[in-house]
Amino acid sequence: MRLEGKVAVITGAGSGMGRAMANLFAAEGAKIVAAEWNEATLAEVVAEVKAAGGEVVGVRGNVALEADCDKIIDGAVAAFGGVDILCNNAGVMDIQQGAAEMDNAMWERVLGINLNGPMYLTRKAVPVMKGGSGGSIINTASVAGVGGGAAGCAYTVSKHGVIGLTKNTAFRYAQEGIRCNAIVAGAVETNIMQSVDPTKMDQAAMARSQTWYAAIPGQLKATDIANLALFLASDESKMINGACIPADAGWTAA
């Protein structure tokens, strides 16, 4: 029960890594606030956690909207009295376009969900954590946040931004009991590609990226990321702050 009594807000909780986090954190004693835009998958993860004996509330929302981010954190406070853990995990992919090919709609959608959302949620959660006993913020970043070959312009910029958000948050609030770390995720078996139309992928960019993709040493499971998030959420990692930890089977080691 490594998270016994703690309140964990997890975005993108309806599928993939977020769903794995919700189930694992609940099994370790956390009270879960599952945030998800998809009503059907939100209902599924809430049912799963409850069936296993966990405490959970679901909050439907789009993290690109500041009002929905406020609703998520307010929901945690209303249901459980505070927030101890925030997992900024919700994300969408782009279609591999570079700056010259990308339109404003793609840029705004990806940056809105992948970067604005974590910032809105962090901004809302930090005062709540400061009013309690501190907390741990875990951002799901990507190898696209430390290099340029893994995705298109919008996704790459969004994840570089998440790394910056992580480091600034860690530095700014370290003396106030709040930690912030990022998981630099590699190739993980999730359904993130369902967030885009695969027929619209930029084929020239995809061809250029094949040299990068060829270096993938192995794919991770969603549970692999959830296990790392559990460690970062727990007191076992109390002296780890501002870290951007690769979970990529060694993809970025070369």
Residues forming the active site: 155
Kindly tell me the burial class for residue 200, based on how many C-beta atoms sit within 10 Å of its own C-beta (0-12, 13-18, 19 or more). Answer: exposed
64-103 as b/e: b if 16+ CB within 10 A: bbeebbebbbebbbebbebbbbbbbbbbbbbbbbeeeebe
Q: Which domains does the chain have, with CATH numbers?
A: 7-247 (3.40.50.720)
Element (H, E) at 135: strand 135-140
Closest to 96 measured CA to CA, from 54, 46, 49, 152: 152
User: 120, 69 in Cβ contact below 8 A?
Assistant: yes
- pLDDT of the chain along its 254 residues, tens only? 999 999 999 999 999 999 999 999 999 999 999 999 999 999 999 999 999 999 999 999 999 999 999 999 999 999 999 999 999 999 999 999 999 999 999 999 999 999 999 999 999 999 999 999 999 999 999 999 999 999 999 999 999 999 999 999 999 999 999 999 999 999 999 877 777 777 888 899 889 988 888 999 999 999 999 999 999 999 999 999 999 999 999 999 97
Look up the pTM and report it: 0.96
